[in-house]
Amino acid sequence: MDVTRHCKLCDHQKIDFKTGTYCGLTNRKPEFYGKCVNAKFDSKLDIEISDINIEYESVLKTKWRSYIYSITFLIIGTVALIFGSYLVLNLLAQSEYDYHYTRILGSFSALLTFGSILFIFPIATKYLSHYTNSFKLAKT
């Protein structure tokens, strides 16, 4: 365990660019295992707790927006996938592929089908995964 993480919250912590973190009481590097008996957690701990709570509240505020974005993009992707598949099935049912509009519709249906799989669905999952990752980090 890195003892300087423990010292980060202590009011006795001093920082020097040459030696790094050292104790303001002993003027030496931290030399304890587990917990320091001289630690004083007042002002730095209050500031850290306040910062963590502010970050946690800001993450919670993005919860519904993330859900709405994810659901919206899932619906758009599903509609594009179904419509593209419908166009492909109708084009395959036709026996004549010589028409110019048939080729355009075929390209459009392939674009809809693969575009929804490759672009729209990942966007939908991006919002939700970003929220869950931010929530886990803020909670820890």
For residue 37, give its domain range.
3-41
The reply to whether 30 and 93 lie within a common domain is no
Mean pLDDT across the chain: 79
Q: How many domains does the chain contain in total?
A: 2
Per-residue pLDDT reduced to its tens digit, 30-61? 777 767 777 777 777 778 778 888 888 888 88
The reply to whether 30 and 80 lie within a common domain is no
State the pTM of this model: 0.58
The reply to whether 21 and 79 lie within a common domain is no
Q: For residue 72, what pLDDT band results from cuts at 50, 70 and 90?
A: very high
The reply to whether 67 and 37 lie within a common domain is no
pLDDT at 99: 66
Side chain identity, residue 69: Y
Which uninterrupted H or E stretch holds 15? Answer: strand 13-16
* CA dist., res. 30 & res. 38, Å (int): 11
